[in-house]
């Protein structure tokens, strides 16, 4: 299963909206033995998010954020970017109406597809609905 940045961030900070749900899904998928996956893009987004102040958390110092990234890299399989991902991204840009910042989500989907991953865990399901049957979004709306 591929984890979106928002799940990783929310699972890390108790005051973050959806923290309990994110922690539940992190534990549930980890305990199931399922392969947990992220990409280098997710690592960059994680660093960009946690090192700036949020409404529910002050900025994390860079050294702490880098230590958190090292923990993620030890726990998750990192799906690398490259020519196959770029080809899938171009294909998605031709097939799905996309503009501006939507390209970032398209790159997540392209990475997943290039590596044979279809399941996405995210709090932003609406942002990924445009990809239809290409991916399966896990419903994070369950109460915990």
Is residue 19 domain-resident?
A: yes
Tell whether the model's pLDDT for residue 143 goes beyond 80: no
Region for residue 98 given its phi and psi (left: phi exceeds 0; alpha: psi -120 to 50; beta: otherwise)? beta
Is residue 52 domain-resident?
A: yes
Q: What is the pLDDT of residues 124-139, one digit of tens each?
A: 998 999 999 999 998 7
Q: What is the pLDDT of residues 69-80, one digit of tens each?
A: 999 999 999 999
Is residue 58 domain-resident?
A: yes
Instruction: Tell me the CATH number at 8.
Output: 3.40.50.1010
Helix (H) or strand (E) holding 138: strand 136-138
Q: How far apart are CA 18 and CA 133, in angstroms?
A: 26
Is residue 24 domain-resident?
A: yes
Question: Average per-residue pLDDT in the chain?
Answer: 94
Query: What is the number of structural domains in the chain?
Result: 1
Is residue 144 domain-resident?
A: no
User: How far, CA to CA in Å, does 119 sit from each of 15, 36, 49, 63?
Assistant: 27, 10, 23, 31
Q: State residue 37's pLDDT score.
A: 98
Is residue 28 domain-resident?
A: yes
Domain range for 17 is 2-138
Is residue 143 domain-resident?
A: no
Q: What is the pLDDT of residues 47-75, one digit of tens each?
A: 999 999 999 999 999 999 999 999 999 99
């Amino acid at each position: 299963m591929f984890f979106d940045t928002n799940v990783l961030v929310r699972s890390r900070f108790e005051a973050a909206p959806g923290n309990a749900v994110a922690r539940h899904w992190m534990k549930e998928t980890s305990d199931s033995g399922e392969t947990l996956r992220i990409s280098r893009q997710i690592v960059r987004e994680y660093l960009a998010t946690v090192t700036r102040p949020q409404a529910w958390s002050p900025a994390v110092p860079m050294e702490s954020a880098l230590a958190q990234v090292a923990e993620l890299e030890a726990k998750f399989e990192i799906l690398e970017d490259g020519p196959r991902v770029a080809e899938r991204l171009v294909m998605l840009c031709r097939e799905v109406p996309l503009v501006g910042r939507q390209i970032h989500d398209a790159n997540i989907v392209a990475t997943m597809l290039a590596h044979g991953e279809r399941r996405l865990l995210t709090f932003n399901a609406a942002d990924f609905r445009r990809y239809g049957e290409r991916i399966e979004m896990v419903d994070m709306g369950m109460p915990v």
